[in-house]
Structure 1
Amino acid sequence: MEKLVLLGLVLLAQQAASQNVIYKLSKEEFIRMPPKFHVDRFLRCMGGRGGVYCAAYADVVADAPSELLDMMRAYSAHSVTHYNYTNLRYGLCLTQECRSFYNGSDNEADLKTSSEACLNHSLSAEYGLKTRVTEVNCYFEGKSKYSVDWMDRLVALLLLGVLALNVLGTAYGRLRDRTKPANPILMAFSLSENWKRLKEPPSSDPKMKQLRQLNGMKVMSAILTVLGHAALPLFFTIENTNWLEKVYDHPMAKFMLHGHLLMATFFLISGLLLAYNTQVMAEKVTLSWNILPRAIFNRWLRLTPMCMVFISITATFMRFADYGPFGQIIGLEAQDCRDYWFYNLFHLHNFNDHSQCLLQTWSTACDFHLHIIGLVVMVLSPSAKARWWCLGALFAVGLAWPAYNIYTMDLDATLLASPRAMLGLFIKEPTFNYLYKRTYTNLPSFVAGILLGYLIYDWQKRNVFARDLTKYRYLYWLLLPALVMLVSAAGVYCRDAPRASLPLRLAYGPVVRPLIAAVIALFILGTMFKVENAYRVILEWRGWAPLARVNYCVSVSHVAIVRYLHGTRVTLFHISGLHIIHYIVAVLVFTGMVAVTLHLTIEAPLSELIRLLLDKKSPKVSNGTVVNENGANENAIKYDDVVGSEVKPYFNEYKKLNSEVNESANSGHVVTKSKNI
């Protein structure tokens, strides 16, 4: 009875609160409010002698009761689709537009006072309002916020060394005597050799042809990820904020703004390939607990070098781009990379809720943890029955824990792309921290992938995929609309209406990503059964394989590119649909160019060096072919097959069997060549 009374009081409180919320404003009412963002002309300000420019964050206040301020508060209270118009972000030129309020001091307190006085002068005259400046980020003509230190010099030397090795390796690869064995270290840095490997077609092995669609899924997921992250900074460099608020009502926006739910695809495929490749290895190698330390170390070694290289670049060179009204977008991440790099080093950053450093790689940290959990269960389970029980328990934990968090923390059903969350880059969003990036919330998708990997391996052995299931093609075509509906359903929680009830949030939040993983699993099985030739032809396109090999570089670099493009802006965007398309296409193209460059010059050479380091009897290279001590072809694992391989821990043992099984979990490139499969 007490619980019912408490629930009734909560509902009454929500109803009372909703009465103080305004969901829609007319055009005339909207233009009565001060703009959320404004920037004085930065280049003109800093072009003058002694120019001082401050990006100010200010709360709107009033000396007396204000009907306008009450309206602003009521409209801003619905934070799911509205900006907070009682908190302004203005770029102010203190030495020109605000010169009558600036005393020439560079003290932060004085800069705040000058900015506040300037804002109060303009807002009081036009709107009858005042402000309280809470933070300023200022720039001074002729002065840099940062000075070059030992870390900058060290990273510069390392990158120059990498560049020199690329030049030397490329020249060596072209000019060397091909009648003699090549130097494998120099060949690792040959751009021409790395380019050839990047362009290699997918495996022609019949069993691997059935998994070729994974490359397409990985690349499409990466493209959607870039599209979503590219839109993030638009939320705080936009002039026509009302236009963006109206976008939330558009059906396509309901899908695009919640496309992050498709990250379930990444974890499903990762679990699938881990289980599949482990089963292939178990045919010839006895898997026991003593392979786990090396398996975990090799996984860490695959993920970490490229990540740390980019952290080094962000923490050093990128911070010098912090110069302008929006420069703090870059500066904050650079500082966090200096302060919290060790979380990324050990892939614990998805449990650090205070760092923006390579925030998008939370999925890499999750994958590392899930990889360990999956290996432990598959290798140490005493029987198949025990393994299924363990996987079932993990799946249940992955469902129950998010539900518990939603209930106890009053979280949203899923991560909502609200303007307020976007402005903070989700750092302070509890739903992002506890329902999205934690390892346990992605357990169901990963476990579903493991089960799918076992199923595919078994059905391949029993030739089940030879069955004709084309009669189900009409049902199969419904999978794509079903996927779109599942993702778009999140729009129910992100609209101009009172917040969804707790039961409604509990009904969607814990199960939506497992359901999406189930739909993707059916997609994969359908292509393997060749149910139809529409989706399958697209997903199995040969061109996905080279693109999939640079997936990890795309994942690591694209947010830094987006931050740079917006952090160096000096004006606001006036956005329309065509402007967004133009901008996003440009980001995709530029990200692809940067990712290919990083792959050829850094990722590919590092992967080959790691392979040479781990192989105790490093094979010699002759004319691009690996040979043994007697000169015979070892049919050894090629460099692009090794990077990210789930079965890499067993490299030495499996090499003796003259076969190879490889998978690039982060790049999505799948290659298997084995005489025994």
Structure 2
Amino acid sequence: MGDFQQCVNIEASTKTGVILGKYCLGSLAVKNTTSSVHQNVWEIISLDKFGTDRVVLLAKFPWALCLPGGCTTDDANLVGNFLLTYVIGNEVGVRFSDLLCQTVKEVNPPLTNGAIVTLAILALLLSMVVLSTLYDIFCIFYAHKSCAMLVKAFSAYTNSIKLFKMTTPTPDQLPCLNGLKWLSMVWIVYGHTFISQRDSSITNTKHLIDWTDTWYSMFIFNATLSVDTFFTIGSALMSYGFLKAKCKNVRFNLFQYYVHRYLRLTAPFAIVVLVSATLLKYMGSGPKWPLVDQSLQQPCSNNWWSALLYVQNYVNVTHMCVIESWYLSIDFQLYLISPLLLCPLWKYPRACLSFLVLCVLGFVGVSFYVAWANDLNAIPSNFYGNIKNYENYYYYRTHTRCPSWFIGVILGYYIYKLKQKEFRLKLNKTVVWIIWGVCLGTMLTCVLGGFNSLRDEEYDRWGNAFYIALVRPVWSLAISWIILACTNDYGGPINWVLSLPIYQVLNRFTYTVYLIHVTILYMITYDKKRPGYFSNINVAYSFWGLLWFSAGISYLLILMTESPMVVIEKILLESFGKKKQSKRNLESGVDNAALEK
């Protein structure tokens, strides 16, 4: 990869002007001698023992040149091929692209108007946090009880107290969910850290491919199952909370129901989208840094609207803004239809539960059909398959990922009934141990299943289709048992671990860490100036750095967006409630006056 910094810093003055250094990163290639039509067809060399039709070529051989700034990509190919022909022979060459050729002008581009506006918005938000904090401290120091709640909304002091506060759970709460959510988030970050190695620059690329053939790599590739844990938990909390509110005669307001959800999701997400669309390309440099602009910034510049409307898993599925936000799109779309299920669940529970079971079975069938019709590969580490088709046709789509969500709705109903003591879950110890054994064995099967049978070059249509259709609903059923057991005194040490008070704090960072960790990860990956070395310990070291660095950035994001939005929303709802109440009082006064007359 050469010396990137040395090359782009070259600046030589001549009689005809200034010559800048241009760093070009290419890949070794071989001439395709089997083509009778095109005699100058070059194929990128890779450690690709699976053939050249794979979508993801993990192990390309980089070759960098430092050239005068006036050289074109064709010049780079000419020079590179000449050097390799002189050393090796005319069968080996190198291929460069305009994208990965950079001078100091491309490395340090001028700020755009959008970037300046974004910096101003971030500066304004940070200023509001600082000023609000100072105002809050002043109120506390001088014991002013009448300090404006709205002005204190951005206070880092008060919001941090709320953020790091640990309380004793009430009987209505489900403390085990805090641990489940945070540990699932950790699994997601760990999986993304490993998977990012395929796009990184490493010296032992063959070791990476060999590692994917090990059974323990399945624990990394199947970290995607943790997303179904979130689907199950989210819908369970939604149905449980709705039924609990109806039991207390709380009036359901559809408008507030939707606005609350949109504001809480979008407040931090909008800042992430804004920064991604305008600032990312200024936040680093390196041989592969232009890929940040191409794969992270440009999709947000062009498709920010579909991200904020939560429709990009259908509208711009191949060019998503903040790629991990596909989950938000599915979650919000399902939230929109939830009143159609929750209201009947309260009034006609038996019929609605039957309908929900049919929905689970029906959409499992839809997943089977999609996998069958598109020849999708079920195992992400199977590089014979087309991972892009798996993502675009199945992984990002609401109609194929919703069975876990429907299972969660059913789970929430039974948790509510158990909490209301309408029926009890009475199991003896032997049955509990058996169910726990089946549950943990099922989860292990979901993670390791298909390793020996679904990773061959010969495509197994039945096996892949059944696996895709069933693995996530079955995983959600296992998660449902864990939640039921932990909330009914059958969790034992597992419930104790999942309900530790520290998870109350960590869980509050889950959403924002999810939003930003992939972007940070790929910024680190593409910022590398030297190739690294792939090993389990190196990736684990990177993971812990990524996790806590993301937590630190998410803390700032929460202070600027999420925590203030909670206060602002509360003020608006209280104001709306007062206006509504005053209107009722006025109408009551008019009616009384009419009666008196």
TM-score (ref. length: structure 1): 0.76
Q: Which residue of 2 aligns with 1:92?
A: 64
Q: Please say if residues 454 and 463 of structure 2, whose CA atoms lie closer than 8 Å, have aligned partners that are also in contact.
A: no
Query: Does the residue aligned with 1:207 lie in a helix, a strand or coil?
Result: coil
Residues in 1 aligned to 2:23 and 2:542: alpha-carbon distance in whole angstroms: 27
AA of the residue aligned to 1:482:
T
Residues in 1 aligned to 2:226 and 2:395: alpha-carbon distance in whole angstroms: 12
Q: Please say if residues 188 and 605 of structure 1, whose CA atoms lie closer than 8 Å, have aligned partners that are also in contact.
A: yes
Q: Which residue of 1 aligns with 2:236?
A: 272
Q: Which residue of 1 aligns with 2:278?
A: 316
What's the CA shift for 1:75? 2.3
Q: Which residue of 1 aligns with 2:442?
A: 482
Q: 1:77 aligns with which of 28, 39, 51?
A: 51
Within 5 Å, which residues of 2 pair with 1:42-57?
42-49=4-11, 50-56=20-26
What's the CA shift for 1:439? 0.8
Q: Which residue of 2 aligns with 1:584?
A: 543
Query: Does the residue aligned with 2:25 lie in a helix, a strand or coil?
Result: strand
Q: How many residues are matched? A: 561
What's the CA shift for 1:148? 1.5
What's the CA shift for 1:235? 1.1
Q: 1:323 to 1:480 in 2, by over 3 A?
A: same
Are 2:84 and 1:122 aligned?
A: yes
Query: Does the residue aligned with 1:565 lie in a helix, a strand or coil?
Result: helix
Residues in 2 aligned to 1:489 and 1:80: alpha-carbon distance in whole angstroms: 23
Q: 2:198 aligns with which of 231, 235, 244?
A: 235
Q: 1:52 to 1:537 in 2, by over 3 A?
A: same
What's the CA shift for 1:139? 1.2
Unpaired segments of 5 or more residues in structure 1?
1-38, 96-101, 620-628, 630-651, 657-677
Over residues 171-229 of structure 1, what are the superposed CA-to-partner deviations in whole Å (9 max), with x where a residue is unaligned? 11111142432211221111110111012224531221xx1100100001111111111
Q: Please say if residues 258 and 487 of structure 1, whose CA atoms lie closer than 8 Å, have aligned partners that are also in contact.
A: yes
Q: Which residue of 2 aligns with 1:435?
A: 394
Query: Does the residue aligned with 2:180 lie in a helix, a strand or coil?
Result: helix
What's the CA shift for 1:338? 0.7
Residues in 2 aligned to 1:127 and 1:76: alpha-carbon distance in whole angstroms: 26
Q: Please say if residues 413 and 505 of structure 1, whose CA atoms lie closer than 8 Å, have aligned partners that are also in contact.
A: yes
What's the CA shift for 1:513? 0.1
Residues in 2 aligned to 1:163 and 1:69: alpha-carbon distance in whole angstroms: 50
Q: Which residue of 2 aligns with 1:644?
A: none
Q: Which residue of 2 aligns with 1:614?
A: 573
Q: Which residue of 1 aligns with 2:357?
A: 392
Q: 2:248 aligns with which of 284, 293, 301?
A: 284
Query: Does the residue aligned with 1:575 lie in a helix, a strand or coil?
Result: coil
Q: Which residue of 2 aligns with 1:164?
A: 127
Q: Please say if residues 360 and 403 of structure 2, whose CA atoms lie closer than 8 Å, have aligned partners that are also in contact.
A: yes
Over residues 52-80 of structure 1, what are the superposed CA-to-partner deviations in whole Å (9 max), with x where a residue is unaligned? 012336753245799x9899797241777
Residues in 1 aligned to 2:53 and 2:172: alpha-carbon distance in whole angstroms: 51
Q: 1:205 aligns with which of 148, 153, 170?
A: 170
Over residues 321-370 of structure 1, what are the superposed CA-to-partner deviations in whole Å (9 max), with x where a residue is unaligned? 35211203321211111111001110112222232421111111111111
Q: Which residue of 2 aligns with 1:357?
A: 321
AA of the residue aligned to 2:62:
Y
What's the CA shift for 1:617? 5.1
Q: 1:253 aligns with which of 206, 212, 217?
A: 217
Over residues 125-177 of structure 1, what are the superposed CA-to-partner deviations in whole Å (9 max), with x where a residue is unaligned? 33653447373322112554633222112111111111111111111111114
AA of the residue aligned to 2:83:
H
Residues in 2 aligned to 1:493 and 1:598: alpha-carbon distance in whole angstroms: 44
AA of the residue aligned to 1:340:
N
Q: Please say if residues 292 and 376 of structure 1, whose CA atoms lie closer than 8 Å, have aligned partners that are also in contact.
A: no
Residues in 2 aligned to 1:491 and 1:81: alpha-carbon distance in whole angstroms: 20
Q: Please say if residues 445 and 517 of structure 1, whose CA atoms lie closer than 8 Å, have aligned partners that are also in contact.
A: yes
AA of the residue aligned to 1:396:
L
AA of the residue aligned to 2:184:
S
**RMSD over aligned Cα atoms:** 3.1
Over residues 283-318 of structure 1, what are the superposed CA-to-partner deviations in whole Å (9 max), with x where a residue is unaligned? 133767xx3343223211211121110111122221
Residues in 2 aligned to 1:494 and 1:239: alpha-carbon distance in whole angstroms: 29
What's the CA shift for 1:607? 2.7
Q: Which residue of 2 aligns with 1:523?
A: 482
Are 2:561 and 1:602 aligned?
A: yes
Query: Does the residue aligned with 1:55 lie in a helix, a strand or coil?
Result: strand
Q: 2:137 aligns with which of 147, 166, 174?
A: 174
Q: Which residue of 1 aligns with 2:308?
A: 345
Q: Please say if residues 94 and 115 of structure 1, whose CA atoms lie closer than 8 Å, have aligned partners that are also in contact.
A: no
Q: 1:356 to 1:417 in 2, by over 3 A?
A: farther
What's the CA shift for 1:243? 0.5
What's the CA shift for 1:559? 0.9
Query: Does the residue aligned with 2:310 lie in a helix, a strand or coil?
Result: coil
AA of the residue aligned to 1:411:
L
Q: 1:457 aligns with which of 416, 431, 436?
A: 416
Residues in 2 aligned to 1:161 and 1:81: alpha-carbon distance in whole angstroms: 44
TM-score (ref. length: structure 2): 0.86
Q: Which residue of 2 aligns with 1:60?
A: 30
Residues in 1 aligned to 2:370 and 2:226: alpha-carbon distance in whole angstroms: 21
Q: Which residue of 2 aligns with 1:40?
A: 2
Q: Please say if residues 248 and 494 of structure 1, whose CA atoms lie closer than 8 Å, have aligned partners that are also in contact.
A: no
Residues in 1 aligned to 2:378 and 2:536: alpha-carbon distance in whole angstroms: 28
AA of the residue aligned to 2:21:
G
Q: 1:360 to 1:55 in 2, by over 3 A?
A: same
Unpaired segments of 5 or more residues in structure 2?
12-19, 585-597
Within 5 Å, which residues of 2 pair with 1:409-420?
409-414=374-379, 416-417=380-381
Residues in 2 aligned to 1:74 and 1:229: alpha-carbon distance in whole angstroms: 22
